[in-house]
Structure 1
Amino acid sequence: MKLRTLLLATFIFFTFQTVSSAQANNAKRLDAVKKASAIKADTTGWIQGGGIGMDIGQLAFLNPKLGSGENRFGFGGAISYFANLIEDRYYWSNSFSLNLALQKLGSGVIRANSDEKTPFQKSIDELRINSKFGYAISKESNFNYAVDFSFLSQFTPTYNSKVDGGNYLKNIEELETSLASKIFNPATVIFGVGIDYKPTPTWSIYLSPVSYKGLIVADDDIAALGIHGNPWNSPTDFENTDNQIGGLLKIGYSGNLVPERISYNTSLGMYSNYLNNPQNIDIDWVNEFAFKIYKGLQLSVLVNLFYDDDVLVQISDSDAVGGIKRDPDGNVITGKRVSITEQMLLKYIYVF
């Protein structure tokens, strides 16, 4: 992606999630926290909370009419947890999230003369951990010395099929599946030291001029595939880790667009690898629009955008099997592309 385009996007869009907290034994403050998505850092102490979201879709037939279609069942969920501390001149914010969804199309066995039942396919699988510690330059200053850590991977294994292009949770010989990914394969770790500017409790701008980024593919069999961005020359000549040094910019916003009705949380991370094509900026942009229904119950729309100049992604093709481009042998065709994910969840949030 062009540096000029990405810098322009920075000024156009809101972004990044900032963290704040309130005193745990302050009943009035906690009640305010439950009613608002943005937590103002006006008191001290720990505040913790989490959310559980579900996405379920189902369609079933018994002796269907011609042209009716086929059975469909899908379910997914998102689990999130945060623990934030603010004391005097320092703060420590931590968050964990897991987003997983599965679907089954059709019923019965996968083909004639087979005992293998129609399996579930993966729709989304994303595991994130973030932590940031900051110390104010002075009691009156909005600038903080800060250390930031983030981790991105997945939770379950993925077996990719050459027959129908599906991503399955287990190996299915009849579908010619092969293991393509699992936890820590790949995983991205970023660690940086810099300055965090917090002009208001809802905004954060973090800049680390020198930060470390590691792309990890721990399993040799998966690393040998050369599909996750690890250094690779051939199935016998590869490395499990790509170590990078670069600059990191994070911009974040967390607040209400409509008081006590619609909230918006967003986090934008932009990373430039000084060692390889620094003009091509890696992007990790996470957005959540939440429409409050009743107390802690809300409808959430998640939209994530991802681009890594060293990571190849599957290329979408509406005319291909499974919607993904493949070569004549059925292997997935990959390339450098922007990856966009959208999900809608019915979510319950609890703060304690």
Structure 2
Amino acid sequence: MNCLKSLCLGILCLFTYQYTFAQDIIRTEETDTIKRWTGKNIVGLDLTQVSFVNWNAGGENSISGIVKGAFMRKYTKDRFVWHNELIARYGLNKQDGRESRKTDDAVQLNSTAGFKTDTISNWYYSAKFNFNTQFTNGYAYPNTDLAISKPFAPAYIFLGVGAEYINKDEGFKAYFSPLTLKNTLVLDTRLANQGAFGVDPAIYDINGELIRSGKKTRTEVGLLVTNQIKKEIFENIMLDHRLSLYSDYINHFGNIDVDWQLQLDMTVNKYVRASVATHMIYDDDIKSKEDVDGVQVTRGPKLQLKQILGVGLSYAF
């Protein structure tokens, strides 16, 4: 009987020890998993207001604002890195006697997974995913009857594999992909029938009857090169430079789609920041539109340029 009691006591002690050891392992794995994920969130509001009362030089009262957010998540384990970034911006301008007009509108999702063969090299074998669209309709002001763009019209998807060079000390990244799929979505029937943003337009007979609707997607395979520099160039001044160059292998190879964003963030204090940003786009498939005597006229591709100067509140957490 004493032997049986001793055996039972020994088994109980063994199970207690195993349970305690297993719990320690679980807690250690949970801690390691949490440490592998790092993240940062930044939300902000830029406001500009101009008001006149008996101002002899003239002028119009106006107010404009841009709400923006950037959310980053990074997973690191040994030689594997997975970086995710969501960027959202939306801006409006209102002047006396005029409808509200959109000044900025963007939704961007960037995700890059990379693996390097040793701990010394700065080169990664990488796969990259990018998605871009907008929140609301866009117009060729003052014409607000017909939208020239809508959410998911267009939307752009890039998916490719290649090699990426990362220098953390210099805040430098360069990505080269010899095989990247670019998919353009125009999920609006009217815009797709017009052939907007490079999709195949609708086909009509001589009487104007629809024979075939416009395609809502356009798929390309080509070469993608991107570069990003994000670093503090002076005290409290952060530079964020992003350049993307893409050329389709099949459709006019050598014609390069350019997307270049440059932003300077200047920190006043913990919550107040000023920013200067430019965004330049050239896409051979995007035809420009102009308002001529109240009628929208389609022109050839042109260089698109946007510049923003803002001062406002920013909160990071």
- Do these two structures clear the TM 0.5 threshold for a shared fold by scoring above it? yes
Mapping for residues 255-266 of structure 1, pairs under 5 Å: 255-258=231-234, 260-266=235-241
Amino acid at match of 2:295: G
| Aligned-partner SS, 1:221 | helix
Deviation at 1:66, TM superposition (A): 6.8
Deviation at 1:295, TM superposition (A): 2.9
Of the three residues 218, 224, 244, the one matched with 1:248 is: 224
Task: Say which structure, 1 or 2, has more relative contact order (CA 8 Å, 6+ apart).
Answer: 1
> What RMSD, in angstroms, separates the aligned Cα atoms of the two structures?
2.3
Who is 2:8 aligned against?
none
Deviation at 1:275, TM superposition (A): 1.1
Over 3 Å counting, the alpha-carbon distance change for 1:158 and 1:210 in structure 2 is same
More helix by percentage: 2
Deviation at 1:267, TM superposition (A): 1.2
- The alignment-based identity, stated in percent, is 26
Of the three residues 75, 80, 86, the one matched with 1:90 is: 80
Over 3 Å counting, the alpha-carbon distance change for 1:67 and 1:262 in structure 2 is closer
| Aligned-partner SS, 1:294 | coil
Who is 1:335 aligned against?
300
In structure 2, runs of 5+ residues without a counterpart are 1-30, 205-209
Over 3 Å counting, the alpha-carbon distance change for 1:55 and 1:350 in structure 2 is closer
Deviation at 1:233, TM superposition (A): 5.2
Of the three residues 142, 145, 166, the one matched with 2:142 is: 166
Q: Summarize deviations over 1:171-217 as a string: whole Å, max 9, x none.
A: xxxxxx11322110111110011111124441111111011001110
- TM-score with structure 1 setting the length: 0.72
Distance in 2, matches of 1:208 and 1:289, equals 28
Who is 1:185 aligned against?
153
Who is 1:100 aligned against?
90
Contact 2:186 2:196 in 1 (8 A): no
Distance in 1, matches of 2:257 and 2:298, equals 21
Over 3 Å counting, the alpha-carbon distance change for 1:69 and 1:262 in structure 2 is closer
Amino acid at match of 1:307: Y
Of the three residues 191, 213, 217, the one matched with 1:222 is: 191
- TM-score with structure 2 setting the length: 0.79
Contact 2:143 2:291 in 1 (8 A): no
Mapping for residues 3-22 of structure 1, pairs under 5 Å: none
In structure 1, runs of 5+ residues without a counterpart are 1-24, 26-43, 108-117, 169-176, 315-324
Who is 2:246 aligned against?
271
Amino acid at match of 1:137: T
Who is 1:312 aligned against?
287
Distance in 2, matches of 1:128 and 1:61, equals 37
Who is 1:205 aligned against?
174
Contact 1:55 1:344 in 2 (8 A): no
Amino acid at match of 1:263: M
Distance in 2, matches of 1:78 and 1:167, equals 27
Deviation at 1:159, TM superposition (A): 4.5
